[in-house]
Amino acid sequence: MEILECIDTIINKYHTSKVSGKINASNPCFSGDTKVALVDGRNLNFIELIQENEKGKQNYCYTIQKDGSIGIGKIDNPRMTRKDASVIKVILDNNEEIVCTPDHKFMLRNGNYKEAKDLIINDSLMPLYRELLPKFFFEDKINVQNVISAPLAINHKVNSIQSLNEKINVYDFEVPGTHNFALTSGVFVHNCSEYMFLDDSACNLASINLMKFLNTDGKFDTEGFKRVVDRFITSMDLLVDGSSYPTEKIAQNSHDFRPLGLGYANLGALLMSFGLPYDSDEGRAVSAAITALMCGQAYKASAKIASNVGPFPRYAENRESMLDVIRMHRDHVKDIDVNKMPYDLRYLVNEAWDSWSDAHELGKKYGFRNSQATVLAPTGTIAFMMDCDTTGIEPDISLVKYKVLSGGGMLKMVNGSVGLALGRLGYNEDQVKNILNYINTNDMIEGAPGLKTEHLAIFDCAFKPAKGKRSIHYKGHVLMMAVCQPYISGAISKTINMPESATVEEIMDAYIFAWERGLKAVAIYRENSKRSQPLNTKKTEGEVVKKTEVVAIKQGREPLPQTRKSITHKFELVDHKGFLTVGLYDDGRPGEIFVTMSKQGSTVRGLIDSWSLSMSINLQYGASVKDLFGRFRHQKFEPAGFVRNSDERGKLDESQVPIRVCGLCGGPAKRIGNCAIKCSSCNTTQRSGCGE
């Protein structure tokens, strides 16, 4: 009853296309006669699983764990999820046929997932070699650990995909923790929950790295953020027409409603950089404002597109419900408690209100190009490609994480936003350095020298450190989702992390707490509930750890002091005198390079000036002197000639003269013999020449 009530009162309340049909479910599903491989050796279809569940029978399936091995998963809540759904048929090379909704995800041999509609012939699916697995009949599932998987020379491959004209009822169940299970056909499948819309529709996703909009003054660049949202919405809308779809119905609905799924990543790192605890009224207010700004601007962009090319085709029949939802979204901006926000970030609420007001007014006049605009996806894969410290709407798992490497060993990763947060909180460079060194040594910030007790909450993470005591309470996760959900078209995919000590009653309370706050979707993970997990808060005994450097990441361009020291180096290239000047920061680091020459002509002067400007900007944005040194030395092109001073022997072109400086500190370097240079600033000798 609670699930149905949630769908009717929460999910469909914010449904922009009510006239065209209800939102029935978020998950992709299978036909009722699809069989699941059970660990007791039986093969039951979904209808049989539901019947046994109603009689109190607990069944268990095979599931792929995070370390890639096959384990045992509990089957929860087998049920019918949709009526009269469009489906497709996937045929494997062993002639097995799987009927499912087009958006159901299949696990590939490499561990990644692909929706059924996107599968192509010869795609290799993750196999279940069931004949090699023991058949377990057990009472205590906790003691069953000897489940094995074996690499064989054969795979289950896709032979063909067929669209089916019939509509059928479809089914699914949940596997807590791993969210995948094996079918009798010998392949593994998976579910997700952020996209909630009409049956037989599709949505393309995109996510924005929020840290890219953190200015050097500590403010959030709303103008830049809005421009990026505008471009994303335009690009994503174009993809609707440029995409192919597995069934005629999905293609038709995708063009008729044009739903999009723009979201963001790195929210946890952004809040930390602001000096705000994730689990705080201040952090939640800022998060709500940014989420509201994104969605409001997305719908504003959608209305602008509609003013040029028209609204989505089914807009007219859904005009009233769409405008009503936009109005509700806009009015929720008034619920953001501005007084809880830092004074210098309160402008975010005004920006969000303006975007929503503009979206509503433009929508009334022109309609909207897209029926949905935003969701919040997990971004578990793309976040790290985007240089994010945190994924999606999540806080950091831990300030120090140990990632299990597929080739063996572990990688130690330290959150790069800690230094920014400490700087914003007023700690000086020495204090920041000492605290970062403490984190690197102890894998936590608790007890760091000089850290104020009142600042500890800013660095709280989802998991408690191995030697620490602090972590974010599960209610902190739910409350963050609750304040952002009113400004999201679809739903939020987010993990509610709970400690290993969490009881059944506490997990039940978490679900009820989430439902009471109007969340559309929720997923709970109890720490160490699986035999292994990809990220850990401590090093596994016997593993070799590869460390990442602990640094305070600088955002943006670092200007040089108005009055600064410099080093000038004189050289002669044939009959041309030249001077290389290196401007220095107060700590001796090079920050700019200028080259002055006589009789070089306008073309060469322009080349050298442009090169110097490029090098200077690179240095001021934090590029490594060593990397720049390595890239430019030993390049040869005309005009070139012999140098006459004793520091520079041999034939050089103009681009080589400035590089005859130290590749480590940027100081002046003298040649030692034919194969090395020596820096007079840092007193190092480096190999240079001799065929490098």
Q: Is the pLDDT of residue 142 over 50?
A: no
Q: Is 432 helix (H, G, I), strand (E, B) or coil?
A: helix
| Contact yes or no for 361/378 (Cβ under 8 A) | no
| Contact yes or no for 467/539 (Cβ under 8 A) | no
Burial of 233 (0-12, 13-18, 19+ CB in 10 A): buried
Active site residue 194: yes
How distant, in Å, are the alpha carbons of 27, 173, 192 from that of 179? 11, 9, 8
Q: Which one of 100, 192, 295, 484 is the catalytic residue?
A: 192
Q: Which one of 194, 282, 351, 648 is the catalytic residue?
A: 194
Give the largest Cα separation in the chain, rounded: 97
- DSSP character at residue 187: B
Predicted local confidence at residue 383, as pLDDT: 82
Q: Is the pLDDT of residue 182 over 70?
A: yes
Predicted local confidence at residue 14, as pLDDT: 63
55-101 pLDDT per residue, tens: 888 998 888 776 666 778 888 778 777 777 788 888 888 778 888 88
Query: Taking residues 13-31, what's their average pLDDT?
Result: 63
Nearest CA among 109, 124, 100 for reference residue 183: 100
446-473 pLDDT per residue, tens: 999 999 999 999 999 988 888 888 999 9
Euclidean distance between CA atoms 612 and 590, whole angstroms: 13
Residue listed under structure tokens 């103008």: 223
Which domains, and CATH codes, for the chain? 27-190 (2.170.16.10), 204-366 (no CATH), 395-547 (no CATH), 566-687 (no CATH)
Q: Is the pLDDT of residue 5 over 60?
A: no
Query: Taking residues 129-137, what's their average pLDDT?
Result: 43
Whole-prediction pTM: 0.59
341-398 pLDDT per residue, tens: 999 999 999 999 999 999 999 999 999 999 999 999 888 778 878 888 888 999 998 8
Euclidean distance between CA atoms 91 and 74, whole angstroms: 27
3-state secondary structure 580-624: EEEEECCCCCEEEEEEEECCCHHHHHHHHHHHHHHHHHHHHCCCC
* pLDDT-derived band at 600, boundaries 50, 70, 90: low
Q: Which residue has the higher pLDDT, 443 or 674?
A: 443
Predicted local confidence at residue 181, as pLDDT: 79
* pLDDT-derived band at 565, boundaries 50, 70, 90: confident
Residue listed under structure tokens 């953020």: 225
Predicted local confidence at residue 631, as pLDDT: 72
Amino acid at 188: F
Euclidean distance between CA atoms 29 and 99, whole angstroms: 9
Q: Which one of 191, 266, 497, 536 is the catalytic residue?
A: 191
Euclidean distance between CA atoms 240 and 204, whole angstroms: 8
Half-sphere exposure of 690 (CA within 13 A, CB side): 10
pLDDT > 90 fraction of the chain, expressed in percent and rounded:
30
Residue listed under structure tokens 């299949």: 106
396-452 pLDDT per residue, tens: 988 887 766 555 566 677 788 899 899 999 999 999 999 999 998 888 999 999 999
Nearest CA among 518, 338, 11, 304 for reference residue 296: 304
